[in-house]
Amino acid sequence: MKKLVILSVGMLLTLAACNNDESGTAQSSNDGTALFTASIDGQRVTRASNAKWDNNDRIGISGTCGTKPYTNVCYKTSNGSGNDFEFEAGDKIYYQDMNEVNFTAYYPWKEALTASTTIAFSTDEQANQKDFDFLWAQGKGSKNSPKVDFGFTHQMSKIAITVKAGNDITCEEVKAAVCYLKNHQHQGTFDREAGTATTTGNQSAEWAFANNTANQSYNTPDIATDDNKNSVTYGLILTPQTFTPESLLTFTAKVTTGEATDPQNFSAAIELNQIPENNNANELKPGIQYNITINVNKTGLSIGDCSISKWTEYSYETDADMQ
């Protein structure tokens, strides 16, 4: 039976700059101190793992002022969870002359990236999404214009999977379902200079990201339940990566229904190369959120329509089979 698949995909929000008077805290520097901000249209910034900067979020800033290099200097949100950042650790950044300086910045700050430009990470423990929700930005400043407005962009990919109760399946059964992905890579490295995240290691076997009782740190904390729509949505942050026709990204839900004691498996391959805007590439791209609605019916599983405002919508059609 033909099942409908619609993916809604969009560039994750870019953090635009704001003026000093928009935040109310960043002031002009008269001692050569560099000032740093990050915002989106004068509002709080948006991250993949959360909707705003959290209290004491830290970024690492690098640049060369005159002949003095600054490497991975730690700055944190200066007013709790706003758009301005203040110096916290390392060598506070000062302009050494009147020349303009190019800076790079990334989030989240890692002390290990002071001595090295790359750091290894893994996305299997989704409970710790903030540890690998990498953002990166470039900015310019000088003594005459000391405030650097960083426009951060997401360097990871996000998948928002909505599992919806269909025919003869209850919402509570869907909420209790153990959900899996496989054939993706968890291990990766992040380069703070280039602002890129790259996969390493092998493809994953079945990995449970929801209702995993054996490894609870694998469970994503990004969960939204909609009882009116009989659905639950899970947000996952993964490294940008490419899939082969032999090893497609695959979703599985193990659902225990009614009086049954053993769960039924519902699986479907996600063929990203069927999205025209993906240029026939079967890959997860950086800065893109893929929104997938999965309808679980007693007779099988289908990937259905989904939409999200202000995002670009892509769609394609495929079959999904019950196993």
Residues 202, 118 share a domain? no
Query: Residue 244, by phi and psi: left (phi above 0), alpha (psi -120 to 50) or beta?
Result: beta
Of 154, 188, 223, the domain-final residue: 154
Q: Which amino acid is at 43?
A: Q
User: Do 280 and 165 share a structural domain?
Assistant: yes
Nearest CA among 197, 240, 277, 233 for reference residue 9: 277
29 found inside a domain: no
- C-beta atoms surrounding 280 within 10 Å: 10
217 shares a domain with 104: no
| Residue 319, in any domain of the structure | no
Whether residue 223 is found in the same domain as residue 133: no
Q: How far apart are CA 269 and CA 292, in angstroms?
A: 12
Q: Do residues 168 and 147 share a domain? A: no
Q: Are residues 208 and 112 in the same domain?
A: no
**Boundary-marking domain end, from 101, 129, 154:** 154
Query: Do 252 and 107 reside in the same domain of the chain?
Result: no
| Contact call for residues 185 and 216 (beta carbons, < 8 A) | no
Task: Name the nearest CA neighbour of 191 among 251, 110, 312.
Answer: 110
- Identify whether 250 is part of a domain: yes
State residue 209's pLDDT score.
98
CATH code (residue 66): 2.60.40.2620
Element at 22 (helix H, strand E): helix 20-23
Range of the domain at 94: 35-154
pLDDT of res. 37: 75
CA–CA gap between residue 242 and residue 249 (Å, rounded)? 9
User: Structure pTM?
Assistant: 0.81
Number of domains in the chain: 2
Provide the sign of the torsion angle of the four alpha carbons 274, 275, 278, 282, taken in this order. Answer: negative
- 296 found inside a domain: yes
Based on the domain organization, do 242 and 301 belong to the same domain? yes
**What was the pLDDT predicted at 81?**
53
CB-based burial label for 216 (10 Å; 0-12, 13-18, 19+): exposed
User: Is 26 among the domain residues?
Assistant: no
CATH number of 306's domain: 2.60.40.2630
In the chain, the amino acid numbered 284 is L
Are 162 and 218 found together in one domain?
Answer: yes
pLDDT of residue 101: 95
235 and 301 fall within a common domain: yes
Cis peptide before 286 (omega within 30 of 0): no
Kindly state whether residue 189 falls inside one of the protein's structural domains: yes
Q: Are residues 92 and 118 in the same domain?
A: yes
The answer to whether position 316 is within a domain reads no
- In order along its 323 residues, the chain shows pLDDT tens digits of 444 444 444 333 333 333 333 333 333 455 788 788 774 333 444 454 554 677 888 999 999 999 999 999 999 987 655 578 889 988 899 999 999 999 999 999 999 999 999 999 999 999 999 999 898 999 999 999 999 988 888 899 988 888 988 888 889 999 999 999 999 999 999 999 999 999 998 999 999 999 999 999 999 999 999 999 999 999 999 999 999 988 999 999 999 887 777 888 888 888 887 766 777 788 998 888 888 888 888 766 565 543 222 223 343 333 344 56
Is residue 5 situated within a structural domain?
no
- ω before 69 within 30° of 0 (cis)? no
Of 154, 176, 193, at which residue does a domain stop? 154
Token digits for 288? 């893109």
Residue 24, burial from CB neighbour count under 10 angstroms (0-12, 13-18, 19+): exposed
pLDDT at res. 219: 96
The verdict on 175 and 134 lying in the same domain is: no
